[in-house]
Amino acid sequence: MNLVKINADRCKECGYCIKFCPKACLSKGDKINKRGYYAPVFDATNCIACGTCARMCPDTVLSVYKDVE
């Protein structure tokens, strides 16, 4: 399974990662982070590790990893 790591405390809830993910792997979480925002949560099921979410994020919240096995 591909992986998107989320550094939740950096998130400012702009929504870009959720909007631009082509596979709808990200959605708004329900935990408020230290800055008062809802960081996204990741569902690996359909993730293709395209990296779009990380590239659209203004705050380097996301890191993307491809399962190479």
Partner 1 sequence: MKAIYEKPQVFTDAITTYCGGCGHGIVGKLIAELIDELDLRENGILVWPIGCSCLSDRYYNMDAFMSLHGRAPASATGIKRADPSKFVLCYQGDGDMVSEGMAEIMHAAIRSEKFTVIFINNAIYGMTGGQMAPTTLEGQYASTAPAGRKELNSGYPVHMAEIMGMMPGVCYSERVTITSPGAVAKCKNALRKGFQNQLDGKGLSFIEILSPCPTGWKMAPLKAMEWVDEVVSKEYPLGLIKDTTKEEN
Number of residues that bind partner 1 (CB under 8 A): 31
Q: Which residues, numbered 34-53, are part of the site for partner 1 (CB under 8 A)?
A: 35, 37, 49-52
Asked whether the beta carbons of 39 and 61 are under 8 A apart, the reply is yes
With CA atoms as reference, report the closest residue to 2 among 41, 51, 57, 61: 51
Length of the chain: 69
Give the DSSP H/E element, type plus range, for residue 46.
none
x/- map, 4-23, partner 1, by CB under 8 A? -----xxxxxxxx--xx---
Nearest-approach distance from CB 58 to partner 1, in angstroms: 2
* Residues making contact with partner 1 (CB under 8 A): 3, 9-16, 19-20, 35, 37, 49-52, 54-60, 62-68
